Amino acid sequence: MKIYDVDISVPMFLGTAQYPSPAILHQAIRASDCEVVTVSLRRETADGTGAGFWDMLRATGAHILPNTAGCHSVQEAVTTAQMARELFATDWIKLEVIGHADNLQPDVFALVEAARILTTDGFKVFPYMTDDLIVGEKLLEAGCEVLMPWGAPIGSGQGLRTPDALRTMRAHFPDVPLIVDAGIGRPSDAIQAMELGMDAILLNTAVAKAGDPVGMARAMALAVEAGRAGFISDPIDRRDVAVPSTPVLGLAELM
Protein backbone atom coordinates (compact mmCIF):
# COMPACT_ATOMS: atom_id res chain seq x y z
CA MET A 1 0.00 0.00 0.00
CA LYS A 2 0.99 3.62 -0.41
CA ILE A 3 0.44 6.05 2.45
CA TYR A 4 1.34 9.71 1.96
CA ASP A 5 3.49 8.71 -1.04
CA VAL A 6 5.43 6.12 0.96
CA ASP A 7 5.24 2.48 -0.14
CA ILE A 8 4.58 0.07 2.72
CA SER A 9 4.92 -3.62 1.91
CA VAL A 10 4.23 -5.16 5.35
CA PRO A 11 0.64 -4.42 6.52
CA MET A 12 1.49 -4.32 10.21
CA PHE A 13 2.47 -1.36 12.39
CA LEU A 14 3.98 -2.10 15.80
CA GLY A 15 3.81 -0.03 18.97
CA THR A 16 6.89 0.26 21.19
CA ALA A 17 5.51 0.56 24.74
CA GLN A 18 5.35 -1.95 27.63
CA TYR A 19 7.97 -4.41 26.39
CA PRO A 20 10.04 -6.28 29.02
CA SER A 21 13.23 -4.71 27.69
CA PRO A 22 14.53 -2.67 24.73
CA ALA A 23 16.33 -5.79 23.49
CA ILE A 24 13.07 -7.75 23.30
CA LEU A 25 11.38 -4.82 21.56
CA HIS A 26 14.17 -4.78 18.99
CA GLN A 27 13.82 -8.52 18.43
CA ALA A 28 10.04 -8.21 18.09
CA ILE A 29 10.40 -5.52 15.43
CA ARG A 30 12.81 -7.74 13.53
CA ALA A 31 10.59 -10.82 13.88
CA SER A 32 7.55 -8.97 12.52
CA ASP A 33 9.42 -7.43 9.56
CA CYS A 34 7.26 -4.34 10.17
CA GLU A 35 8.28 -1.14 8.44
CA VAL A 36 6.47 1.33 10.72
CA VAL A 37 6.77 1.64 14.50
CA THR A 38 4.87 4.04 16.70
CA VAL A 39 6.38 5.84 19.65
CA SER A 40 5.01 8.25 22.21
CA LEU A 41 6.75 11.53 22.93
CA ARG A 42 6.18 10.80 26.63
CA ARG A 43 7.93 7.44 26.31
CA GLU A 44 10.89 9.11 24.67
CA THR A 45 11.43 11.71 27.38
CA ALA A 46 9.90 10.29 30.56
CA ASP A 47 12.85 8.56 32.25
CA GLY A 48 15.90 10.27 30.82
CA THR A 49 16.87 7.29 28.63
CA GLY A 50 15.25 8.69 25.51
CA ALA A 51 18.42 9.08 23.45
CA GLY A 52 19.32 5.39 23.69
CA PHE A 53 15.77 4.34 22.92
CA TRP A 54 15.68 6.61 19.87
CA ASP A 55 19.00 5.25 18.64
CA MET A 56 17.68 1.70 18.94
CA LEU A 57 14.57 2.54 16.91
CA ARG A 58 16.60 4.18 14.18
CA ALA A 59 18.79 1.09 14.00
CA THR A 60 15.78 -0.99 12.95
CA GLY A 61 15.39 1.04 9.76
CA ALA A 62 11.62 1.33 10.32
CA HIS A 63 9.60 4.48 9.65
CA ILE A 64 8.88 6.30 12.91
CA LEU A 65 5.26 7.26 13.56
CA PRO A 66 5.12 9.46 16.68
CA ASN A 67 1.79 9.58 18.49
CA THR A 68 -0.04 11.95 20.78
CA ALA A 69 -1.01 9.24 23.28
CA GLY A 70 -2.55 10.56 26.47
CA CYS A 71 -3.72 13.88 25.04
CA HIS A 72 -7.25 14.96 25.99
CA SER A 73 -7.61 18.31 24.23
CA VAL A 74 -6.95 19.88 20.85
CA GLN A 75 -4.25 22.19 22.18
CA GLU A 76 -2.47 19.40 24.03
CA ALA A 77 -2.50 17.15 20.94
CA VAL A 78 -1.29 19.91 18.60
CA THR A 79 1.52 20.95 20.94
CA THR A 80 2.62 17.35 21.43
CA ALA A 81 2.63 16.78 17.66
CA GLN A 82 4.78 19.86 17.10
CA MET A 83 7.25 18.72 19.75
CA ALA A 84 7.35 15.24 18.24
CA ARG A 85 8.12 16.66 14.80
CA GLU A 86 11.15 18.45 16.20
CA LEU A 87 12.39 15.43 18.16
CA PHE A 88 11.83 12.69 15.58
CA ALA A 89 12.39 14.78 12.44
CA THR A 90 9.21 13.56 10.73
CA ASP A 91 5.93 15.13 9.71
CA TRP A 92 4.07 11.86 10.30
CA ILE A 93 1.86 11.89 13.40
CA LYS A 94 -0.59 9.38 14.80
CA LEU A 95 -3.24 11.68 16.22
CA GLU A 96 -4.98 10.62 19.42
CA VAL A 97 -7.36 12.90 21.30
CA ILE A 98 -8.88 10.84 24.10
CA GLY A 99 -12.43 11.64 25.17
CA HIS A 100 -13.21 8.92 27.70
CA ALA A 101 -10.86 8.07 30.54
CA ASP A 102 -12.05 4.46 30.99
CA ASN A 103 -12.32 3.04 27.49
CA LEU A 104 -9.95 5.56 25.85
CA GLN A 105 -12.49 6.27 23.12
CA PRO A 106 -11.38 9.18 20.95
CA ASP A 107 -13.13 12.54 21.17
CA VAL A 108 -14.08 12.69 17.51
CA PHE A 109 -15.05 16.37 17.59
CA ALA A 110 -11.68 17.42 18.97
CA LEU A 111 -9.99 14.90 16.69
CA VAL A 112 -11.34 16.51 13.53
CA GLU A 113 -10.40 19.99 14.76
CA ALA A 114 -6.87 18.92 15.67
CA ALA A 115 -6.48 17.10 12.36
CA ARG A 116 -7.44 20.24 10.45
CA ILE A 117 -4.91 22.34 12.37
CA LEU A 118 -2.11 19.83 11.91
CA THR A 119 -2.65 19.14 8.20
CA THR A 120 -2.68 22.91 7.60
CA ASP A 121 0.65 22.99 9.42
CA GLY A 122 2.10 20.38 7.06
CA PHE A 123 1.62 17.23 9.12
CA LYS A 124 0.67 13.89 7.59
CA VAL A 125 -1.99 12.78 10.06
CA PHE A 126 -2.92 9.21 10.98
CA PRO A 127 -6.12 9.71 13.03
CA TYR A 128 -7.19 7.19 15.68
CA MET A 129 -10.97 7.19 15.34
CA THR A 130 -14.16 5.25 15.94
CA ASP A 131 -15.67 3.17 13.12
CA ASP A 132 -17.99 6.00 12.05
CA LEU A 133 -18.51 6.95 8.40
CA ILE A 134 -19.31 10.61 9.07
CA VAL A 135 -16.23 11.05 11.24
CA GLY A 136 -14.20 9.45 8.47
CA GLU A 137 -15.59 11.86 5.89
CA LYS A 138 -14.86 14.86 8.14
CA LEU A 139 -11.28 13.70 8.68
CA LEU A 140 -10.72 13.31 4.95
CA GLU A 141 -12.15 16.79 4.41
CA ALA A 142 -9.71 18.04 7.06
CA GLY A 143 -6.81 16.75 4.96
CA CYS A 144 -6.15 13.24 6.26
CA GLU A 145 -5.28 10.61 3.65
CA VAL A 146 -5.57 7.57 5.91
CA LEU A 147 -8.12 6.47 8.54
CA MET A 148 -7.44 4.36 11.63
CA PRO A 149 -10.70 2.98 13.06
CA TRP A 150 -10.50 1.10 16.33
CA GLY A 151 -11.31 -2.58 16.59
CA ALA A 152 -11.95 -2.36 20.34
CA PRO A 153 -10.69 -0.22 23.25
CA ILE A 154 -6.92 0.22 23.45
CA GLY A 155 -5.17 -2.66 25.19
CA SER A 156 -8.37 -4.66 25.69
CA GLY A 157 -7.50 -7.53 23.35
CA GLN A 158 -11.20 -7.95 22.57
CA GLY A 159 -10.67 -8.31 18.83
CA LEU A 160 -13.09 -6.70 16.39
CA ARG A 161 -16.25 -5.76 18.32
CA THR A 162 -18.11 -4.45 15.26
CA PRO A 163 -16.79 -6.18 12.14
CA ASP A 164 -19.86 -5.14 10.15
CA ALA A 165 -19.00 -1.48 10.76
CA LEU A 166 -15.47 -2.05 9.48
CA ARG A 167 -16.82 -3.89 6.44
CA THR A 168 -19.09 -0.91 5.76
CA MET A 169 -16.15 1.49 6.08
CA ARG A 170 -14.21 -0.56 3.53
CA ALA A 171 -17.10 -0.32 1.07
CA HIS A 172 -17.66 3.39 1.74
CA PHE A 173 -13.97 4.35 1.43
CA PRO A 174 -12.69 1.98 -1.27
CA ASP A 175 -9.60 4.04 -2.10
CA VAL A 176 -8.61 5.22 1.38
CA PRO A 177 -6.00 3.27 3.37
CA LEU A 178 -7.74 1.80 6.42
CA ILE A 179 -5.68 0.62 9.39
CA VAL A 180 -7.34 -1.09 12.35
CA ASP A 181 -5.86 0.50 15.44
CA ALA A 182 -6.42 -0.96 18.92
CA GLY A 183 -8.18 -4.05 20.19
CA ILE A 184 -6.28 -6.75 18.32
CA GLY A 185 -5.46 -9.49 20.84
CA ARG A 186 -4.75 -12.67 18.89
CA PRO A 187 -3.51 -13.64 15.45
CA SER A 188 -7.06 -14.70 14.57
CA ASP A 189 -8.19 -11.09 15.16
CA ALA A 190 -5.53 -9.86 12.75
CA ILE A 191 -6.65 -12.37 10.12
CA GLN A 192 -10.27 -11.26 10.50
CA ALA A 193 -9.33 -7.59 10.07
CA MET A 194 -7.34 -8.29 6.92
CA GLU A 195 -10.06 -10.56 5.48
CA LEU A 196 -12.46 -7.61 5.82
CA GLY A 197 -10.22 -5.70 3.43
CA MET A 198 -8.32 -3.55 5.89
CA ASP A 199 -4.97 -2.37 4.55
CA ALA A 200 -3.04 -2.92 7.77
CA ILE A 201 -3.31 -3.29 11.53
CA LEU A 202 -1.57 -1.44 14.34
CA LEU A 203 -1.01 -3.27 17.59
CA ASN A 204 1.09 -2.97 20.72
CA THR A 205 -0.23 -4.65 23.86
CA ALA A 206 -0.96 -7.99 22.18
CA VAL A 207 2.73 -8.36 21.38
CA ALA A 208 4.39 -6.49 24.24
CA LYS A 209 2.43 -8.30 26.97
CA ALA A 210 2.49 -11.77 25.42
CA GLY A 211 4.41 -14.51 27.22
CA ASP A 212 6.76 -14.55 24.24
CA PRO A 213 6.66 -11.10 22.58
CA VAL A 214 9.06 -12.08 19.82
CA GLY A 215 7.09 -15.21 18.97
CA MET A 216 3.82 -13.26 19.02
CA ALA A 217 5.26 -10.58 16.75
CA ARG A 218 6.08 -13.27 14.21
CA ALA A 219 2.66 -14.90 14.61
CA MET A 220 0.92 -11.58 13.99
CA ALA A 221 3.02 -10.97 10.89
CA LEU A 222 2.04 -14.35 9.48
CA ALA A 223 -1.60 -13.66 10.37
CA VAL A 224 -1.78 -10.36 8.48
CA GLU A 225 -0.11 -12.00 5.49
CA ALA A 226 -2.63 -14.87 5.51
CA GLY A 227 -5.60 -12.54 6.00
CA ARG A 228 -4.53 -10.27 3.16
CA ALA A 229 -3.97 -13.23 0.84
CA GLY A 230 -7.41 -14.54 1.75
CA PHE A 231 -9.08 -11.21 0.99
CA ILE A 232 -7.51 -10.72 -2.42
CA SER A 233 -8.26 -14.34 -3.33
CA ASP A 234 -12.01 -13.55 -3.21
CA PRO A 235 -13.32 -16.12 -0.69
CA ILE A 236 -16.60 -17.91 -1.26
CA ASP A 237 -19.84 -16.53 0.18
CA ARG A 238 -21.27 -18.05 3.34
CA ARG A 239 -24.30 -20.27 2.74
CA ASP A 240 -27.14 -21.41 4.98
CA VAL A 241 -27.21 -24.92 3.52
CA ALA A 242 -24.67 -27.56 2.59
CA VAL A 243 -23.37 -27.66 -0.98
CA PRO A 244 -21.81 -30.97 -2.03
CA SER A 245 -18.24 -30.74 -3.21
CA THR A 246 -18.50 -34.07 -5.09
CA PRO A 247 -20.55 -34.07 -8.30
CA VAL A 248 -23.76 -36.12 -8.13
CA LEU A 249 -23.59 -36.95 -11.83
CA GLY A 250 -22.25 -40.40 -12.51
CA LEU A 251 -23.28 -41.93 -9.20
CA ALA A 252 -24.59 -45.48 -9.32
CA GLU A 253 -28.36 -45.84 -9.29
CA LEU A 254 -29.74 -48.69 -7.24
CA MET A 255 -32.87 -50.21 -8.78
pLDDT by residue, tens only, the chain of 255 residues: 889 989 999 999 999 988 999 899 999 999 999 999 999 876 555 444 556 777 788 888 889 999 998 899 999 999 999 999 998 889 999 999 998 877 788 999 999 999 999 999 999 999 999 999 999 999 999 999 999 999 998 888 899 999 999 999 999 999 999 999 999 999 999 999 999 999 999 999 999 999 999 999 999 999 999 999 999 998 888 887 887 777 666 666 666
Annotated active-site residue in 94, 124, 138, 209: 94
Q: What is the pTM of this model?
A: 0.88
Task: Tell whether 61 is in a known binding site.
Answer: no
Per the CB < 8 A criterion, the answer to whether 65 and 37 are in contact is: yes
Cα 239 from Cα 173, distance rounded (Å): 27
Cα 255 from Cα 67, distance rounded (Å): 74
For domain 2-233, the CATH class is alpha beta
Per the CB < 8 A criterion, the answer to whether 189 and 151 are in contact is: yes
Per the CB < 8 A criterion, the answer to whether 8 and 196 are in contact is: no
Task: Tell whether 50 is in a known binding site.
Answer: no
Per the CB < 8 A criterion, the answer to whether 235 and 202 are in contact is: no
Strand partners for 7: 2
Cα 176 from Cα 185, distance rounded (Å): 25
Cα 56 from Cα 25, distance rounded (Å): 9
Alpha carbon of residue 86 to chain centroid = 24
> What is the pLDDT, as a whole number, of residue 46?
46
Is residue 209 part of the annotated active site? The answer reads: no
Task: Tell whether 168 is in a known binding site.
Answer: no
Could you state, in order of their start, the residue ranges of all structural domains in the chain? 2-233
Per the CB < 8 A criterion, the answer to whether 62 and 70 are in contact is: no
Strand partners for 85: none
Cα 177 from Cα 179, distance rounded (Å): 7
User: Ramachandran region of residue 90, left (φ > 0), alpha (ψ -120 to 50) or beta?
Assistant: beta
> What is the pLDDT, as a whole number, of residue 41?
77
Per the CB < 8 A criterion, the answer to whether 66 and 91 are in contact is: no
pLDDT tens sequence across 220-255: 999 999 999 999 998 888 887 887 777 666 666 666
